Structure 1
Amino acid sequence: MLNRTLVPQSAARLIQDMIQSGELAAGEKIPSQREFSTKLGISRASLREALLTLETLGLIKTEAGRGTFVAERGSAANSGMAPWRYSDSYSVFDVFQTRIMLEGNIAALAAGRLTGNQLQAMEAATKQMEDCWAKQDLLANVEADLEFHAVIASACSNAMMRALYQVVREQLTETQRQPIPITEPARMKASIAEHRRIISALRDNDPVRARQEMENHVLNTARCAGLNP
């Protein structure tokens, strides 16, 4: 049983493990939130957040009037992406467009400011992305992606941009999860290569190249999601 203070991301990891081990089989209906939250020893709010994360990653699927089910293997690419959870506030197009502008500028303003330890952390996060994709540990793959981008944001010389990044981080995070169910292995390989080019530009203290590489990376992610902002 989980500790009741466990964060939703840890609950999502436990459920992902249950799916990968077969404890929750493909096509199986997820227990009711009341039952499942009691079984896991977490609040229903934490469970709901965990399930939303897993649905965005294509591991589970909610069917109107029927409930929530473990996704069938190989079905995610056919069923497309999960509904955009922030549609009441911003479209996914708007968020990607903002990411290109914001993260491109952040990368340019981080050039020359990253320490050796930070660059190593970005390299480690990129390697973790690669390794976790190979194991289909989708949660850890995205966590490593988030860490990569967060390190760059933390080195940005503009305090307001750093603050703005934190304000919109939930929406930015969702655009990093959203395309995962339809991401082909070749696209993930390309994304990892893009990360390494960003690291190279930052290591060389080249703000122009850092901006270009980051904008290209986010644009390619948007195109993977079927958008062209």
Structure 2
Amino acid sequence: MKQRLYQTVTKAIMDLIESGEFPVGSRLPGERELSERFNVSRVTIREAEIALEALGYITVKIGSGAYVQKPKGEAGTQLPDVSAFELTAARAVLEAEAAALAAANMTDEGLAKLDQIVRKMAAVKHGDIETGDALDRQFHLTIAQLGGNPVVEHTVQNLWRMRTELPRVRDVYESVCVSDAQARTDEHAAILEALRRRDPAASRAAMREHFHRLFEAMLTASEKRELEEIKRRTSQDRQRFLLTTQI
């Protein structure tokens, strides 16, 4: 599996944290400094910081920066081999409940953070998959964190590890998200509105609707790929038949 650039940067920063160059409690250098150090874009640094936060290596404070913390558990747990459909079914149940829990415990600071993410999501250029995925991940992980239950937060983090680290799952999600970017943004805005009202039932329903639409889009994409494969095989069979009849 070929690592994406942000994953390489994530690993490099983890190594620096574990070596003591970035000690626990210290503030990470800013995005500009890190992007110059690793010779990558600031978008890649933001993606790496989202991954580091999900893994428990840093905590991001709005308006203050990213601070190093001691990871709560082992980050390198082996992931199960699941399909995109199996993962989405699990996410629909667990993340809907995470949204309801977050609504019941929502703070003004949490709403400000989610609002900032949705605004950035709306401004993402068409075809910019990496930025869209990074913001998507940040939105869902923030909701899990705001619920205040570390078990729920850890579970959602692992669901997102499957979403981003399992190649066949990641490929299916990316094929859908690149074509449904506007729908994804609108659905996140609807979830945010329910959370803003601090309404657990509405937040749960909005999250479920988000995954229902995603599941339908995945089915459509899967059917399209299967039809294309049938056409390809049919074309090959036709060519073999024509060659046989000419012998």
With normalisation by structure 1, the TM-score equals 0.56
Relative contact order higher in (CA < 8 Å, ≥ 6 apart):
1
Identity %: 24
Which runs of 5 or more structure 2 residues have no equivalent in the other structure?
11-37, 40-77, 221-247
The number of equivalent residue pairs is 150
Equivalent in the alignment of 2:7: 8
The one-letter code of the counterpart of 1:224 is A
Q: For residues 166-206 of structure 1, give each alpha carbon's deviation from its aligned partner in whole angstroms, at most 9, with x where no partner exists.
A: 23321134657633334465x32222111111111111110
Is the aligned partner of 1:192 residue 2:191? no
Q: Distance in 1 between matches of 2:6 and 2:139?
A: 21
Quick one: which of 80, 95, 109 aligns to 1:103?
Answer: 95
Which runs of 5 or more structure 1 residues have no equivalent in the other structure?
1-5, 12-39, 42-85
Is the aligned partner of 1:142 residue 2:133? yes
Q: Distance in 2 between matches of 1:201 and 1:120?
A: 14
Equivalent in the alignment of 1:131: 123
Q: Quote how far apart the aligned CAs of 1:88 are.
A: 6.7
Is the aligned partner of 1:208 residue 2:207? no
Counterparts in 2 of 1:154 and 1:10: CA distance versus 1, 3 Å = same
Quick one: which of 186, 190, 212 aligns to 1:219?
Answer: 212
Counterparts in 2 of 1:88 and 1:158: CA distance versus 1, 3 Å = closer
Q: Distance in 2 between matches of 1:143 and 1:168?
A: 15
Query: Aligned ranges for residues 1-229 of structure 1 at < 5 Å?
Result: 7-8=6-7, 10=9, 89-134=81-126, 136-173=127-164, 178-183=172-177, 187-226=180-219
Q: Is the CA contact (8 Å cut-off) linking 2:194 and 2:203 kept in structure 1?
A: yes
Q: Quote how far apart the aligned CAs of 1:104 are.
A: 0.5
Structure possessing the higher radius of gyration over alpha carbons: 2
